[in-house]
Amino acid sequence: MLIALGETYVKVNGLECWVYAAIDVNGNEILSMEVYPSRNIIVKEFFISDVLNYCHGKPMFAVNGAPWLTEDLKELRLSYNVESFR
């Protein structure tokens, strides 16, 4: 299973948030999408752990090379590829 993992910063009506998304690339399905008020190691590990609940075994992750995402995946001992998202 290949999962595209990403995050982005948004500001709506003065409220700053981080949106995290995980998409099953093969099944073209959103596995999880969450909005958090901050970006930190606890939030990222919680999100990734939640995504793993939708997977059998350990999936391969595709990330855009953001060092904070790759470091978290390394720390969790998960496989990943760095890819450009269009």
Nearest 10 degrees: CA dihedral of 37, 8, 72, 57? 100
Percent of the chain surpassing pLDDT 70:
98
Which candidate, 39, 34, 41, 35, places its Cα nearest to that of 72? Answer: 41
Q: Domain 2-82, what fold?
A: Nucleotidyltransferase; domain 5 (3.30.420)
Per-chain mean pLDDT for the chain: 88
pTM: 0.83
- pLDDT on residue 16: 94
